[in-house]
Chain A
Amino acid sequence: MTTDNSGDVRLSGISKTYGSFTAVHPLELTVPQGSFFALLGASGCGKTTTLRMIAGLEEPSSGTVHLGDQEVTHLPPYKRPVNTVFQSYALFPHLDIFENVAFGLRRRGIKSVKKQVEDMLELVQLGEQARKKPHQLSGGQQQRVAVARALINTPKVLLLDEPLGALDLKLRRQMQLELKRIQTEVGITFIHVTHDQEEAMTMADTVAVMNAGRVEQLGSPTDLYENPNTTFVANFLGTSNLIEAEVDSKSGDDIVLRAGGGKLVLPESRCGAPTTTGGKVLVGVRPEKISLTHADDAGEIAENRNRITGKIADSSFIGVSTQYVIDSPVCPEFEVYAQNIDRDARLVPGAEVVLHWNPAHTFGLDAAQDIDAGVAEVEEEAA
């Protein structure tokens, strides 16, 4: 083979059960060498268990783990060429920063570690702190020590278990960019576990959305956001407006749907569900794709756009945009995010409006699913 694949991670059929509880259902996953991969999901979805099985800290109940061409399923963690950045960092409290970073090198019997450790501390900008104990550093600094301690061993794969969870928002943004920079610089495969969808989308090339022990969908952040396959993905990544609609007819590459009294057009290629005439599908559209026009100006809306009528129930001004909640016959809480470019003074709560959007931004989902899947988790996170 010409390309280096020693940093590939291949999980085939791995699962984990605790008694009668299945944390991870048999899972197929390949993470290519050098990629930044995110496992995204709410707490308890099996993402951390999956990560720990790659690290060797958890024995899979079935299946195999390969790193490149080497099978590591039954190797103990200390014999695997992977390193982990733990949630809450797990820095050794009795050792100073220098010795924490040197730990992995020393255990592999490397004698002269000084130069390497100093270089690594320079990379994470902690050269001055080498002789301090972990508890004397701030959260952000401890996080960088944890990254340095893992990276110094030049692992094939770096595993990150919610590494930014304990940091405040501003620092988290900064560390996201920092980690992304380090990953690009060293070219090591990163597998990042997080419950923060924004974090996953900002940092990762590929995101796997996990729910209840299964991967719901895998793809690039834009792909997941624009073409969710399930209601869980649609609701967990950003916000989606989902409407139940009935298939009316097909015209060319489009499906015509009936919802409430009106008609909506959905490109067939963007519908993941079977569409038989008279059957039900869930129609989705993202809040920022929708334009809002006052009912008096309804005539000015281009003919080929999907449209829904309603009444503004609530609006909140948040600077760059205004978020509206629209009460419409097809959906009681339709969300619309409008950029504050030209604000129409008539768009206040109580006004009759027409919502319209380009049919190409519509996506279709199987109506047999829970329409609110993934919503509750997002609210929990915000609370």
Chain B
Amino acid sequence: MPVVNWLKRHLVVIAGLVTLAYLLLPNVIVTVFSFNKPKGRFNYQWQQFSTDAWKDPCGVADMCGSLSISLQIAFWATIGATLLGTMIAFALVRYRFRARGTVNSLIFLPMAMPEVVMAASLLTLFLNLGAQLGFWTILIAHIMFCLSFVVVAVKARVMSMDPRLEQAAQDLYAGPAQTFLRVTLPIAAPGIAAGALLSFALSFDDFIITNFNAGSTVTFPMFVWGSAQRGTPVQINVIGTAMFLVAVLLVLTSMVISNRRNRQKA
């Protein structure tokens, strides 16, 4: 009976831990296998511990090139989508114009449509326009599908913003530019940041749309997929682990900063 009681009391915690483990298991596997020294070309079976891959992350031909292309595309797609998306979100919330309802629903389309369909229709568009497939077509495609996520994130934030805050700023001698920089933007910032982070993540690991519209350009997800046909170098695990660590580190830093700030205030 005491066992049952103990279980009852801690059921929520246990369920939480199990879910967390389930979520993190793939990351753990990736990390563990980044220290593997596989026999043959496939890194699917544990052989022995080694730091070879970590010492030479770019040791595989073309991999770091594709990584760099992916990072560049993700960076510019984030900038483009965040800028455009923020402006669209403000327009949709603040102004009443004729096509407002239509735009509002069209924005959701890229989120709802199957990626393959979107990829294929984009390819048709680019071919008809005679555009050369490559870096720029990928970037355009990425900005397009990241846009809706930014709009959704920023819109939620702008909608919950009291319009009287901007009026108060104007009342306190802030002109339109000052009002935007000192009040509107800082308050909308969490929404914009969330949109930007989502964009970066979505763009960086997109495969389907990229694969259709890349031409001869190879991004990191394409490289991973391609190499998986012939063999999986340990370096892929190294890059994956490194990305994961960077993300965790960013989250932890922001948590520490906001904690410290709150403690100063109290």
Chain A residues within CB distance 8 Å of chain B? 55-57, 76-79, 82-84, 86-88, 90-94, 96, 103-104, 107-108, 131-133, 136, 149-150, 153
Contacts and interface: CB of A to CB of B under 8 A. Distances in A.
Given A93-B187, A132-B265, A83 B162 contact: no
Interface stretch (B8-16, B68-76, B171-179): B171-179
A92 B168 contact: yes
B165 interface: yes
A94 B187 contact: yes
A77 B167 CA distance: 8
Nearest to A146: B168
Contacts of A79: 173
B174 A78 contact: yes
A103 B169 contact: yes
Interface string B157-191: 00000101101111111110011001100110000
Nearest to B172: A104
B264 interface: yes
Nearest to B173: A107
Nearest to B175: A78
B168 A86 contact: yes
Given A90-B162, A133-B265, A78 B170 contact: yes
Contact of A78 (B165, B171, B187, B265): B171
Contact of B171 (A83, A91, A92, A131): A83
A77 B170 contact: yes
A202 B178 CA distance: 39
A150 B169 CA distance: 11
A76 B178 CA distance: 14
Contacts of A92: 165, 168-169, 183, 187
Interface core residue of A86, A91, A131, A133 (most chain B CB under 10 Å): A86
Nearest to A79: B173
B173 A86 contact: no
A88 B171 contact: no
Given A57-B167, A77-B167, A90-B167, A96 B265 contact: yes
B174 to A, nearest CB: 5
21 contacts: A57-B171, A76-B170, A77-B167, A77-B170, A77-B171, A79-B173, A86-B168, A88-B162, A88-B164, A90-B162, A90-B167, A90-B168, A92-B169, A92-B187, A93-B165, A103-B169, A103-B172, A104-B172, A136-B265, A150-B171, A150-B172
Nearest to A52: B167
B162 A107 contact: no
Interface of B: 162, 164-165, 167-175, 178-179, 182-183, 186-187, 264-265
B180 to A, nearest CB: 13
Interface core residue of A94, A132, A150 (most chain B CB under 10 Å): A94
A56 B178 CA distance: 17
B92 to A, nearest CB: 22
Contacts of A56: 170-171
A75 B174 CA distance: 13
Nearest to A108: B173
B265 A83 contact: no
Contacts of B187: 92-94
A134 to B, nearest CB: 11
Nearest to B162: A90
A9 B175 CA distance: 23
Contacts of B167: 57, 77, 84, 86, 90
Contacts of A150: 171-172
B21 to A, nearest CB: 36
A180 B64 CA distance: 71
Given A94-B186, A136-B265, A104 B162 contact: no
Given A131-B265, A132-B265, A153 B172 contact: yes
Nearest to B170: A77
A83 B264 CA distance: 31
A206 to B, nearest CB: 24
Contacts of A91: 168
Given A104-B173, A132-B265, 11 more contacts: A56-B170, A76-B170, A78-B170, A83-B172, A84-B168, A86-B164, A90-B162, A90-B164, A90-B167, A103-B169, A133-B265
Contacts of B170: 56-57, 76-78
Contacts of B175: 76, 78
A376 B6 CA distance: 61
Contacts of B186: 94
Contacts of B174: 78, 103, 107
Contacts of A107: 172-174, 178, 182
Contacts of B173: 78-79, 104, 107-108, 153
Contacts of B178: 107
B116 to A, nearest CB: 42
Nearest to A55: B171
A57 B172 CA distance: 12
A198 B172 CA distance: 30
Contacts of B171: 55-57, 77-78, 82-84, 150
Contacts of A86: 164, 167-168
A76 B176 CA distance: 10
